[in-house]
Amino acid sequence: MTPGSKRNHPYHGQKVALATKHEKEHVVGPPLQEIVGLEVCVPPHLDTDVLGTFSGEIPRNGTPAEVVIQKARMGMDALGLPLGLASEGSFGPHPQLLFVPGHHELLAFVDDRLGIEVTEQILSTETNYAHIEAHHVDDVTDFLQRAQFPSHGLIVRPNSGFSSGLLFKGIINLEDLKKAIEQCRSASEDGLAHVETDMRAFMNPSRQRVLHELAIKLAHRLASLCPHCRTPGWGKVDVVRGLPCAWCGEETLLVRGEIFGCALCDYRETHPRSDGLEVAPPDNCPWCNP
């Protein structure tokens, strides 16, 4: 989108509520402002933790896709705006790569005037997500390097038995970490402290980088207008599988085409794969590599 076309975009100069208490506006706001012209506004004193916390004291009630829309609407209600934004992150084993942690992030945009919801997502290996059990601070020396401490924060709690009074978040110096481990292992039934990476955005630069990348992706999606009705949010909504095998020509489970669609109307277009791949490697073929 050119500077001139950005000024003609339906969202140029509009305010959008970003539901966050963890300073996500610093990485999400600039791409949306630069690419679409949206002004990101953060509701003061909004407690998004009521929808779930990484440390587990408040479980997430619903799927990430459901919660991210709930969160966006919390911000919209708080500021009385028809446009809302929110992100929701999940961390755990990567679904395709063994022994590699994965970061799945959703970023949702809601427009109640048009009645549309646009969600983009990203699955990244750029994460320090990890945890360890420790009796003493000396037990976590190697872990601290992997966790990128102290540029990335840590959370400490008893390894056995939850206590709200013994949950230390946002630890970014060694002395605080030592004290937290001592208190938590003393209170734990098994004599161990549970030390984990703090995945909240303002405590985790790795997550911030992924969020920024995802915000760029969403901004370009919103900048794209439907060829049929000119509604923002034109983008990939589905795929067509069946990429032919390079040896035998039979269909595989790999993606053959990408379906682009509108967030409002039913208009769809099918395009070839964006990476230009036209045949599948034989090791992906159920006939050549059963």
137 and 122 share a domain? no
Q: Is residue 230 part of a domain?
A: no
The pLDDT value given to residue 5: 60
User: Using an 8 Å Cβ cutoff, are 180 and 168 in contact?
Assistant: yes
The pLDDT value given to residue 54: 82
Pick left, alpha or beta for residue 52 (phi over 0 → left; psi -120 to 50 → alpha; otherwise beta): left
pTM recorded for the entire structure: 0.91
User: Using an 8 Å Cβ cutoff, are 83 and 109 in contact?
Assistant: yes
62 and 161 share a domain? no
Coil, strand, or helix at residue 219? helix
184 and 85 share a domain? no
Which among 185, 170, 94, 204 is positioned nearest to 132, based on CA atoms? 185
Give the count of domains, the chain.
3
The pLDDT value given to residue 58: 85
Coil, strand, or helix at residue 150? coil
DSSP classification of residue 165: G
| Beta strands 15-18; 39-41: pairing state | parallel
Alpha carbons 44 and 48: distance in angstroms, whole number? 11
47 and 108 share a domain? yes
- Give per-residue pLDDT as tens, 84-93: 999 999 999 9
The pLDDT value given to residue 3: 45
263 and 192 share a domain? no
Does 51 have pLDDT greater than 70? yes
The pLDDT value given to residue 1: 54
156 and 189 share a domain? yes
6 or 158: which leads in pLDDT: 158
Q: Is residue 46 part of a domain?
A: yes
Domain with 119 in it? 3-127+204-223
What is the pLDDT averaged over residues 20-31?
Answer: 97
21 and 114 share a domain? yes
Q: Where are the beta strands (DSSP E) in 46-82?
A: none
207-212 long-range contacts, CB within 8 A, separation 24+:
207/89, 207/103, 207/105, 207/127, 208/26, 208/27, 209/27, 209/126, 210/103, 210/105, 210/122, 210/124, 210/126, 210/127, 211/24, 211/27, 211/28, 211/87, 211/105, 211/107, 212/27, 212/28, 212/30, 212/31
140 and 82 share a domain? no
Does 236 have pLDDT greater than 70? yes
Pick from 55-59, 108-112, 151-155, 238-242: least confident: 55-59
Provide the CATH number for the domain around residue 190: 3.30.1490
The pLDDT value given to residue 61: 87
- Tokens 């076309």, residue? 5
Pick from 55-64, 73-82, 231-240: least confident: 55-64
Task: Report the 10 Å Cβ neighbour count for 179.
Answer: 14
Q: How confident is the model at residue 7 (pLDDT cuts 50, 70, 90)?
A: confident
Supply the mean pLDDT for the chain: 94
Alpha carbons 223 and 234: distance in angstroms, whole number? 8
The pLDDT value given to residue 4: 46
What is the pLDDT averaged over residues 31-50?
Answer: 96
Pick from 49-53, 226-230, 252-256: least confident: 49-53
